[in-house]
Structure 1
Amino acid sequence: MSLSGPDDPKYQSGSPPEPGSVAPEVIVSPDTRRSNRIPPGQVRTRKWPVLHATTVPSIPIAEWRLTIDGLVERPLEFSWEQFQSLPRSKVFADFHCVTRWSRLGNLWEGVAVQTLLQMAGVKPTARFVIAGAYDSDWTTNLPLPEFDQPDALVVDRHDGELLDADHGGPVRLIVPRLYAWKSAKWLKRLTLVADDRPGFWEEMGYHNYGDPWREERFTE
């Protein structure tokens, strides 16, 4: 049985979708198998709040590009048509915002981060990934081991629907094991680097790592 997102009667009645409800080919993020799926200090929401650091950028599909560069053997750039032709993956994952809400049981669809890293060829000196977005010079930083996970995706669909602009469309990053600000909206570039480079929110005082289970919200 596949998910139908917020229209699923179980979802509306208060019981969140469970890992066993997804099709066999869907990758299940390990945190969805916890007995308690709500991290410390979080509250579950059945809605999907919209929060931005800046304004929603206008990105014509014909002009959209995704670049993968930095410490890679083969720098890559994809148009929308090229991105759509890549192997597809689906991930069932929970989504935790640093502003203390959690949305459980999301079905994401897109291209696996591991597929893109294999295509680019990661150099041994790479230790971090800098995700850049179309809204100005916004970036966020991720340790490569957290980024290079089976449940990390570059997504264009959520719960069976194309990702809208308010939630990061046409394409956003999803790294389910970290707070949601690490899952960059309006994704434009992934740059592999040797040395860490704190991004927009990290420079504003957000935690450099962002593990929701350790409540790594802010730098102490």
Structure 2
Amino acid sequence: MTETTHPRTALPPGQRQIDFFPRFGRRVDQPPPTVPEHPTVVFGGALTTPIEIAVEELIGKDRRDLHADFHCVAGWSVTDLQWEGVAFAEVYRRYVAPALAPGTIVTHVRVRGLDGELFVAELDDLLADDVLLADRLGGRPLDGDHGAPLRLVNPAQYGYANIKHVCRIDVLAGAPAAGSPALVDRLLQSHPRARVWEEERHGTLPGWLIRPIYRLIKTVMLSAAARHSESGHQSNAK
């Protein structure tokens, strides 16, 4: 079930609407990664050979618009954002499927960003109609705060699954083995599906139980995001 199957006026369980779209994430205290002059995306994993495609070619001329809400696992939501880009399903059909090794059945997709963040999604979740690889937000090219040059947009999944600064996509014939996460990663363990309407916030703990922890994190990180934004405005004014 995707976000678009629910009433537009509703918010998922445990979410509260805010009136701005902050730069948010574990690396908010660091500047956004440097984007190459001619950005590309590398596709690998269960392909006969990796392929590298320019972002401009990947988007193509038949771009799509998507009006959708964005839901952060920390408990805030921004409604009616306007994204533009190419459907992930179209990219998969056009570039990935023809390059698969014979007999391969893809079950998962690992999306990685220039900032080192990654998420492993089930293929079926990314083939939904409202999943984009987006290069524009609000009618403008993405900036560093929101994922330039390319961002995965899946309204049905929490923000941590909507990887920013996409630079590599690996298709996998099974879920990758989990490593030994650091303490903070165990506390904030991501759910493998991250579906907002099922409140899949955490890998092992129920959503209602983890809400207070995420709300505390939200307060701290939104304050950091506000300071970052204010600092950027002051620098631009000089």
User: Quick check: TM above 0.5?
Assistant: yes
- Evaluate the alpha carbon distance shift between residue 217 and residue 42 of structure 1 in structure 2; reply closer, same or farther with a 3 A threshold: same
Report which of the two structures shows the higher radius of gyration computed on alpha carbons.
2
Q: CA RMSD in A?
A: 2.5
Which SS does the other structure have where 1:61 is aligned?
Answer: coil
| 1:131 maps to 2:111 | yes
The percent identity for this pair of structures is 27
Q: Which stretch shifts more, 82-91 or 108-117? A: 82-91
CA contact (8 A) 1:86 1:111 kept: no
Deviation string, structure 1 residues 46-100 (Cα, Å, up to 9, x no partner): 20021132331011232x2112222346753222442353531111211100010
Contact 2:41 2:54 in 1 (8 A): yes
Q: List alignment gaps of at least 5 residues for structure 2.
A: 205-238
Relative to the length of structure 1, the TM-score reads: 0.77
Residue equivalent to 2:148: 169
Q: Confirm whether residue 207 of structure 1 aligns to residue 191 of structure 2.
A: yes
Indicate the structure with greater helix content. Answer: 2
Distance 2:169 2:24 in 1: 22
Report if the CA contact (8 A) 1:75-1:120 is conserved: no
- Cα deviation for residue 213 of structure 1 reads 1.1
Aligned mate of 2:133, from 137, 154, 167? 154
Of residues 89, 94, 101, the one that matches 2:76 is 101
Residue 35 and residue 139 in structure 1: after superposition, are their counterparts in 2 closer, same or farther (change >3 A)? closer
1:25-60 Cα distance to aligned partner (Å, 9 max, x none): xxx9614x5164201100011200211323310112
User: Do structure 1's residue 219 and structure 2's residue 203 form an aligned pair?
Assistant: yes
Structure-1 separation of matches of 2:155 and 2:88:
12
Cross-structure match for 2:15: 42
- Matching residue's letter, 2:71: H
1:193 Cα offset (Å): 0.2
Structure 1 gaps of 5+ residues are: 1-27
Residues 112, 153 of structure 1: CA spacing in aligned structure 2 closer, same or farther, 3 A cutoff?
same
Q: Determine the structure 2 residue equivalent to 1:19.
A: none
Letter matched to residue 192 of structure 2: N
Partner residue in 1 for 2:170: 191
| Change beyond 3 A, Cα 1:132–1:35 | closer
What secondary structure, in the 3-state scheme, does the structure 2 residue paired with 1:39 have? coil
Q: Cα 1:152–1:214, aligned 2, differ >3 Å: closer, same or farther?
A: same
CA 1:81 to 1:143, structure 2 compared with 1: closer, same or farther past 3 Å? closer
CA distance in 2, matches of 1:202, 1:113: 28
The Cα offsets for residues 163-218 of structure 1, whole Å up to 9 and x where unpaired, read as 11011112111011111111100001111101213698976512121111121111
**Residues 61 and 80 of structure 1 are in contact (CA less than 8 Å); yes or no, is this contact kept in structure 2?**
no
Contact 1:113 1:154 in 2 (8 A): yes
| Count of equivalent residues | 190
1:52 aligns with 2:25: yes
Aligned counterparts of 2:132 and 2:143: Cα–Cα separation in 1:
16
